[in-house]
Copies of this chain bind each other. A is one copy, B any other.
């Protein structure tokens, strides 16, 4: 009837439930999505594009309210580009920290699994260099 995706089409295209899409709109993460004469949402390409990016921000743990702030800046036009860039740069720092944190934890996990493998295969109590290394990693901050 009008161009753009229905909410259920947008939902399956984006992997976000219709409930959540409506919630995002109410919460100000999205601009008001255009409607048909009957009041049904029709998501345009640009809406889907924006959503794809905002979904990435959410995936990396950016809080709803900061995503909203970014999205509002987009709506406010080109003169907000420096501000938007700053938000993204600050968030990049966070994401990089998250990755480092996970990698440190992964190392601990690997060592621990290593110990279990040794204990399981050789039936010995785990008192060796792995154990020591594990101690060290666990005592580090973070």
Contacts A88-B116, A95-B105 supplied; 9 other A-B pairs, CB < 8 Å: A52-B139, A56-B108, A59-B105, A81-B116, A85-B113, A85-B117, A89-B113, A95-B109, A96-B106
B138 near A49: Cβ-Cβ < 8 Å: yes
Place the interface of chain A in its size category: 35 or more
- A residues contacting B by CB (< 8 A) are 15, 49, 52-53, 56, 59-60, 78, 81-82, 84-85, 88-89, 91-92, 95-96, 98-99, 101-103, 105-106, 108-110, 112-113, 116-117, 119-120, 138-139, 141
B102 near A98: Cβ-Cβ < 8 Å: yes
Which chain B residues border A112 with CB–CB below 8 Å?
A: 53, 88
B99 near A56: Cβ-Cβ < 8 Å: no
A125 to nearest B CB, angstroms?
Answer: 9
Please report the C-alpha to C-alpha distance between residue A82 and residue B121 in the assembled complex, in whole angstroms. Answer: 10
Which of B53, B78, B95 is close to A102, meaning CB atoms less than 8 Å apart?
Answer: B95
* Between-chain CB contacts (< 8 Å), 23 pairs: A15-B141, A52-B138, A52-B139, A53-B112, A56-B105, A56-B109, A59-B101, A59-B105, A60-B102, A60-B105, A60-B109, A81-B116, A81-B120, A85-B116, A85-B120, A88-B113, A92-B109, A95-B105, A95-B106, A95-B109, A99-B103, A99-B106, A102-B102
